[in-house]
Amino acid sequence: MATVMHETQRKTGYESLREFMAALEQRGLLSRVKVPVEKDWEVGAVCRENFDKFGPALLFEKVGNYKTPLLAGTLSTREQYALAMGVETSTEAIAAKWRQAYAKPIRRTVVSSAEAPCKEVVIDDPDLYADPFPVPKWHPKDGGPEIGTLHGVISMDPETGWINSGNYRCQIFNSKVSGCYVVDIPYRHIHQNWDKWKALGKNMPVAIVIGPDPYLSLTSVSAVPAQVDEYDVAGALKGSPMEVVKAELSDLLVPAHAEIIIEGEMPIDKFWPQEEGPFGEFLGFMGAGVKDSFYIDVKKVTHRRDPIFHGTLEGRPPSESTTVRSMGRSAAVLEHLRRAGIINIRDVSVTPAGCAGFHVVVSLKKSYHGHVRDTMCHVWGHPLLFCKQVIVVDEDIDPWNSYMVEWAIATRVQATRDIVMMTGGKSVGLDTSQVISRRGESDLIGIDATTPHEWYAKDGSKFPEPADPRPEDLAKVRARWKEYGIK
């Protein structure tokens, strides 16, 4: 994919997390929690209750004895998400912005350290237990404080210079060491980079970014293809180049306007001997602890003056994590299908209630024999996702509307004819539906919920006509809706 930037490109969007916070607060979408809160149970409990109520972003001003405030929930609702993207709240508008970002990424621009707020304070001897790190145990049974939840872990391909930003849980092991839940899964982009550093016999430079602008938070969890910089897709979402700056200790590029940058190295020949985890994961259950895990030796920290610590509560839907991953991954699957040559795709929903990964609904205009099966197989074949269930519906069904999808299944599906089941699919090791000895693999289900016109034709009949009003009549009614006085 070519990365382009128009000469007329002007600065748009939010330059920093702080600018986005101000926009949220102006619209009543951010609440300041001024009373003291305990970081190792109370922060997580407040976030859980707030997510269940689809509440605002939260700025905890007094976390324990820390001076640094903690921000969570900035992207937890569709309204907040759309505000970050600079579009209306409709699925169509959000999807169109993502399509544009993939089609026309905007190349990052490198600024000097003097121009980078993330370098305002430099700490040569960092302590991950001290300010500016009011890091919670987000869940009571977590193995330790998790410094990385809604963040970016920056690594680089030493052969091509490709910069990757991914989202991996980072538990604080001690004042100078952070975990990094990469696990031994070779298709993860950070693992691919680590393999190349290992071949060179050099530890891999890594930077943990806390509190970037909203666009890097969106792209870091969105399955951007390999060798495509998240910075450049983020720039397209923003509408102008992402400003980055060279790290203090390596050639990594980090977001210039981030709140906090943690720099270090990931060893290539050593693993953490004690257990990493457990951690309350996105499925809503405790993810098991891991031994011999990847980790980061922390060497230096830089941050803005009076920084803000940024994170989120992982857990069952609804949550900030499922909102962010659902929208971004839906765009990524749509891009994947189009690159594969699957035609006439209307929309894709990686459903939030399916933990933003396990369930995918695709709407399309069925155009040839095998079109639905082709679509299912390519969704399952996405290299970075772990979908177990694919539902394919006609173009008249909105894949984001669970009522419409369930209606299509109820009125267009016969189990023996339209349901495909396969064994041997991939999943994630956190998938609680699978017994521990088989974690990482999964059965797959495909449901063809498109209209069975061909089967009706074989029967010498036609599928019934829809009973809804004509589209042109609905358009007239919508145009007059205010006149009806219906509130």
Output the DSSP codes for 32-99: EE-S-B-TTTHHHHHHHHHHHTT--EEEES-BTT-SS-EEE-TTSSHHHHHHHHTS-SSHHHHHHHHH
What is the helix, strand, coil percentage profile of the chain, to 5? 30, 25, 45
- For residues 171 and 142, give the distance between their C-alpha atoms in angstroms, rounded to a whole number: 9
Please report the pLDDT score of residue 1 as a whole number: 35
CB environment 63-98: b (16+ within 10 A), e (fewer): beebebbbbbbbbbbbebbbbbbebeeebeebbebb
Please report the pLDDT score of residue 7 as a whole number: 32
Residue 480 makes CB contacts below 8 A (sequence gap 6+) with: none
Please report the pLDDT score of residue 12 as a whole number: 67
Q: What are phi and psi of 14, to 5 degrees?
A: -105, 125
Helix (H) / strand (E) element for 457: namely: helix 453-458
Confirm if 319 and 333 have CB atoms less than 8 A apart.
Answer: no
Encode the chain (487 residues) as per-residue pLDDT tens digits: 333 333 333 346 999 999 999 999 999 999 999 999 999 989 999 999 999 999 999 999 999 999 999 999 999 998 999 999 999 988 778 888 988 998 899 999 999 999 999 999 999 999 999 999 999 999 989 999 999 888 999 999 999 999 999 988 899 999 999 999 886 566 688 999 999 999 999 999 999 999 999 999 999 887 788 888 899 999 999 999 999 999 999 999 999 999 999 999 999 999 999 999 988 888 888 888 888 999 999 999 999 999 999 999 998 888 898 888 888 888 889 889 988 999 999 999 999 999 889 999 999 999 999 999 999 999 999 887 889 999 999 999 999 999 999 999 999 999 999 999 999 888 888 888 888 888 888 999 999 999 999 999 999 999 998 888 888 998 999 999 899 888 7
Rounded to the nearest 5 degrees, what angle is found at the Cα of 468, between the Cα atoms of 466 and 469?
A: 125
